[in-house]
Structure 1
Amino acid sequence: MEVFESVLTTFRKNRHYKFHPFCEEEKITHLCLADDLFLLSHAYVDSINTIKDALIFFCNITCLMSNVDKSLAFYGGADEDTNAQIQSIMGISEGSFSVHYLGILLTERHIQFVHYRPLIEKVKNAIMGWDVKKLSYAGMIELVGSVVMGLIVYWSQQIILPKKVMRELDTLLRDFI
């Protein structure tokens, strides 16, 4: 991905490119998660052409290309004409929010408490499964430390967990132990 980052940075600096409004300060053009790539920009046709040209150049030097059948474009607040232009340039169909990616909700809006329910339910189900077993105090601590905290850490690496969610999780764990 370092090669792609270098190609995209070069194209961005030498052509017309507008950052996504929330990415401009840090100059974020893309996110690479697992084996997926998120390209971020303002819904500006010249920016999309710059990204398309960078992808073509990257394909020519590495023989790696994106699969347009598995790719989606997400628009936040762009008008229909711009969306249509971007789709014709990239050849990628339009996706719709909300999307779950690796178990985490991706949305264009602020995440509400209800969106954290899957995490709370996973923790609750894990605890309920262990509750029927006769576990020692040390065994309970070990399970909480390894399994439950692993879930919480995974989620907190992706998004900030609100205090309300953390309090509910603490209550569940305190009641279990």
Structure 2
Amino acid sequence: MLKGATENSEFNFHPKCGPLKITHLAFADDLMLLARGDAISVGILMECLSNFGDMSGLKMNVNKLNLYTAGVHRQELEDIVQLTNLVKGSMPFLYLRIPLAAIKLKISSYDSLINKTKDYIGA
């Protein structure tokens, strides 16, 4: 479905994902959707999720969802928030204990991950 959605001429890939045509990353029961920060592209992905839910009976848990954006102008962001009804999260955020951000992080941002890894391996 997501691949088909990208064939819509109005869909825009996230600028860093376009060359490889990446729309999503999945791990276990987590799904991260990626698109340019415009309401049309986000709407196309949301429609995919809705269609998938209708066919499979699986629905998004809106209490566990967040919207993360970078470089999206105020009006466009307001349109996207209204379209998705998602809570806007702030960066950096942790995903699988790894900090994710729109900017290059300092080494100190990884202290928690490094310390947990050291504890795990007994270093």
TM-score, length-scaled by structure 1? 0.64
SS at match of 2:26: strand
Deviation of 1:123 after TM superposition, in Å, equals 5.2
Q: Which has the higher strand share?
A: 2
Q: Take 2:24 and 2:104, find their aligned partners in 1: how far apart are those partners?
A: 21
Q: Take 1:30 and 1:38, find their aligned partners in 2: how far apart are those partners?
A: 5
> Does 2:38 align with 1:65?
no
Q: Take 1:98 and 1:107, find their aligned partners in 2: how far apart are those partners?
A: 4
Aligned pairs, how many? 123
> Is the radius of gyration larger for structure 1 or structure 2?
1
Moved over 6 A (4+): none
Is the contact between residue 58 and residue 64 of structure 1 (CA under 8 Å) also seen in structure 2? Answer: yes
Corresponding residue for residue 26 of structure 1:
20
Deviation of 1:148 after TM superposition, in Å, equals 2.1
Structure 2 residues without counterparts, runs of 5 or longer: none
Structure 1 residues without counterparts, runs of 5 or longer: 1-6, 127-146, 150-172
Q: Percent identity?
A: 30
Is the contact between residue 44 and residue 82 of structure 1 (CA under 8 Å) also seen in structure 2? Answer: yes
Code of the aligned partner of 1:44: D
- What pairs with 1:86-101 in structure 2 (closer than 5 Å)? 86-101=80-95
SS at match of 1:55: helix
Q: Take 2:63 and 2:117, find their aligned partners in 1: how far apart are those partners?
A: 35
- What pairs with 1:9-158 in structure 2 (closer than 5 Å)? 9-122=3-116, 126=119, 147-148=120-121
Q: Which has the higher helix share?
A: 1
Is the contact between residue 98 and residue 113 of structure 2 (CA under 8 Å) also seen in structure 1? Answer: no
RMSD: 1.8
Is the contact between residue 68 and residue 89 of structure 2 (CA under 8 Å) also seen in structure 1? Answer: yes
Is the contact between residue 26 and residue 32 of structure 2 (CA under 8 Å) also seen in structure 1? Answer: yes
Q: Take 1:47 and 1:56, find their aligned partners in 2: how far apart are those partners?
A: 14
